[in-house]
């Protein structure tokens, strides 16, 4: 018996013994009864997934669940992000996921999605010259006024004013870096964006 197995609580040892038994039976069936072996392996997988010790402990999401949910949200910000599909990819019901997400992150799921949209908008505002209406659509929002309302509430300034201030800050930083290097600052034509320093 391994040290890991000995350190388990009685109910965890029993669950691990059941999984080991199912996998052993599957190995015996593998040569003659592939569908039967598959059923045993699927039963073992269900036991492991449903009895994960880190899943939902203390009402929090496990690290893997939080990472998977955040990746899904980031990858789908350009469209409607509903709680159901996110809960499904981390093997939880929507209501349990909602409570666990809030307990883990400290803010509700919907607020997290909105803040993620605002962060994406900030990135696009400072790195592209796309119109604000297009950025709103790229962030999965209905229109420019929707972005302006959410952005103003979260950041304290409208997107256009934030972009102008950010571009001025980047330009000042660029001037300072060129001056420190003793190099003349290149002139930009009207409407050109200041490149961000790496």
pLDDT of 46 > 90? The answer is no
What would the 3-class secondary structure string for the chain be? CCHHHHCCCHHHHHHHHHHHHHHHHHHHHCCCCHHHHHHHHHHHHHHHHHCCCCCCHHHCCCHHHHHHHHHHHHHCCCCCCCHHHHHHHCCCCHHHHHHHHHHHHCCCHHHHHHHHHHHHHHHHHHHCCCCHHHHHHHCCCCCHHHHHHHHHHHHCCCHHHHHHHHHHHHHHHHHHHHHHHCCCCCCCCCCCCCCCCC
Chain segment 171-186, per-residue pLDDT in tens: 888 888 888 888 777 7
Is the pTM above the cut of 0.75?
A: no
Chain segment 66-103, per-residue pLDDT in tens: 999 999 999 999 999 999 999 999 999 999 999 999 99
Chain segment 144-163, per-residue pLDDT in tens: 999 999 999 999 999 999 99
Q: How confident is the model at residue 53 (pLDDT cuts 50, 70, 90)?
A: very low
């Amino acid at each position: 018996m391994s040290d890991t197995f000995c350190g388990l609580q009685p109910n965890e040892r029993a669950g691990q013994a059941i999984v080991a038994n199912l996998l052993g039976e599957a190995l015996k069936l593998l040569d003659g009864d592939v569908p039967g072996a598959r059923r045993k392996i699927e039963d073992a997988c269900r036991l492991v997934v449903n009895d994960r010790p880190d899943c939902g402990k203390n009402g929090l999401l496990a690290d893997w669940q939080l990472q998977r949910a955040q990746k899904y949200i980031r990858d789908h910000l350009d469209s409607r992000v509903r709680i159901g599909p996110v809960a499904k990819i981390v093997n939880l019901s929507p209501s349990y996921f909602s409570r666990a997400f809030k307990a883990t992150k400290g803010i509700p799921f919907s607020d997290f999605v909105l803040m993620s949209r605002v962060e994406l908008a900030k990135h696009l505002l400072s790195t592209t010259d796309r119109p604000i209406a297009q950025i709103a659509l790229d962030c999965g929002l209905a229109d420019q006024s929707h972005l302006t309302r959410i952005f103003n509430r979260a950041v304290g300034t409208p997107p256009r004013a934030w972009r102008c201030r950010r571009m001025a800050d980047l330009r000042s930083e660029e001037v300072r870096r060129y001056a420190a290097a003793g190099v003349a600052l290149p002139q930009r034509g009207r409407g050109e964006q200041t490149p961000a320093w790496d």
